[in-house]
């Protein structure tokens, strides 16, 4: 897949090499960062990961490490040093080697893992027509503070319109200004990955932009919905499951999940259910809920919260929600529990529900 235009084919590479002449000036900084990573995180100093380049060809992207080794999510393994390096984009310095090799450009689209490629829409695949870059149009709009779907659209727009000298220089300057502001504490929230693909990206965009308003509540009546967040490893497992054809609540994946959960929890067995309703029903059965028992929950809930209890003969009771969080009011719950205790009739289960995640 060839890049379009004279600048894209020749001038852009010449600009990369010209600006790389200043790379020796960054050598003391790079050595200082490498020493800090080695001291705080231990070896290895560099993190390498396969990413999709021009035309989807894979290459090995280099970064300074920002996460501790071991189990846990990225957020759990993130260090103070890592946060500083990411905020100032200093973890990206080793990508000068990728630029020198021609695998990347100073300005382009941030490269994504090859596992994402099958999930792209036709428009999102436009990104494969340009060389990935260190700084991009999406990063100039706000880097990780920009929702995934919006980032993908900025990337598609850059690929659609094609690179240009003035445009690339403006993007580079904008990213440098944002990095300087982040260094002064202006960083937005980081999203290490997000949903890819038409329907999923559309859902992510809708959730990122959605605010539920409740009349007469003022600012307390606004609920900002949480966007879904999938890491690169999670997306790789999704692609693996799709390729294997196991789109059912059976087979090797649920069994492996059950075994991993059982081992982590220290139990002999674990059971994965096909839905939250089934999980609640199973939980109610394990509690021995039956006729004459009470199950308490909030007024703002799903029918699935209480339907299994009703099916088992229990009596539901609904408590009001807190006007600030729209979840079960803890003060009211404490008051009602005390009153039920005095009557000698405590509920068999209390099911709080965070309806909006």
How far is C-alpha 271 from the chain's CA centre?
26
Res 207: pLDDT: 34
Residues of the chain with pLDDT under 70: 1-5, 143-145, 182-232, 245-249, 356-357
Res 186: pLDDT: 41
d(CA 278, CA 288): 15
d(CA 66, CA 263): 29
Res 232: pLDDT: 67
Q: For residue 267, how many other CB atoms are within 10 A of its CB?
A: 9
Res 22: pLDDT: 83
Over residues 239-264, the pLDDT tens digits come to: 777 777 666 667 777 888 888 999 99
Over residues 2-45, the pLDDT tens digits come to: 456 677 777 888 888 988 888 888 889 999 999 999 999 989 99
Ramachandran area for residue 31 (φ above 0: left; ψ -120 to 50: alpha; else beta): alpha
């Amino acid at each position: 897949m060839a890049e379009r235009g004279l600048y894209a084919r020749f001038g852009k590479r010449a600009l990369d090499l010209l600006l790389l002449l200043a790379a020796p000036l960054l050598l003391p900084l790079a050595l200082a960062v490498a020493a800090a990573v080695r001291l705080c995180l231990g070896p290895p100093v560099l993190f390498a990961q396969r990413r999709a380049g021009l035309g989807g060809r894979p290459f090995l992207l280099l970064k300074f490490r920002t996460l501790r080794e071991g189990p846990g999510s990225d957020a759990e393994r993130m260090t103070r040093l890592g946060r500083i390096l990411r905020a100032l984009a200093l973890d990206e310095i080793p990508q000068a080697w990728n630029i020198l090799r021609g695998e990347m450009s100073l300005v382009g689209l941030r490269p994504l893992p090859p596992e994402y490629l099958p999930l792209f829409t036709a428009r999102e695949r436009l990104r494969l027509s340009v060389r990935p870059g260190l700084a991009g149009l999406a990063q100039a709009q706000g880097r990780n503070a920009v929702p995934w779907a919006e980032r993908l659209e900025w990337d598609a727009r850059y690929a659609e319109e094609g690179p240009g000298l003035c445009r690339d220089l403006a993007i580079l300057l904008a990213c440098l200004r944002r990095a300087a502001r982040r260094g002064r504490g202006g960083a937005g929230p980081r999203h290490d990955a997000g949903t890819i693909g038409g329907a999923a990206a559309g859902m992510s965009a809708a959730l990122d932009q959605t605010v539920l308003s409740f009349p007469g509540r003022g600012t307390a009546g606004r609920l900002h919905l949480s966007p879904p967040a999938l890491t690169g490893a999670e997306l790789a497992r999704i692609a693996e499951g799709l390729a294997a054809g196991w789109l059912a609540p059976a087979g090797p994946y649920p069994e492996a999940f059950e075994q991993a959960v059982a081992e982590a929890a220290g139990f002999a067995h674990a059971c994965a259910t096909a839905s939250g309703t089934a999980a609640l029903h199973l939980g109610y059965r394990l509690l021995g809920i039956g006729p004459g028992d009470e199950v308490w929950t909030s007024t703002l809930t799903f029918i699935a919260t209480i339907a299994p209890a009703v099916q088992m003969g229990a009596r539901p009771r609904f408590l009001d929600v807190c006007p600030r969080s729209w979840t079960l009011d803890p003060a009211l719950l404490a008051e009602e529990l005390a009153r039920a205790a005095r009557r000698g009739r405590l509920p068999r289960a209390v099911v709080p529900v965070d309806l909006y995640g």
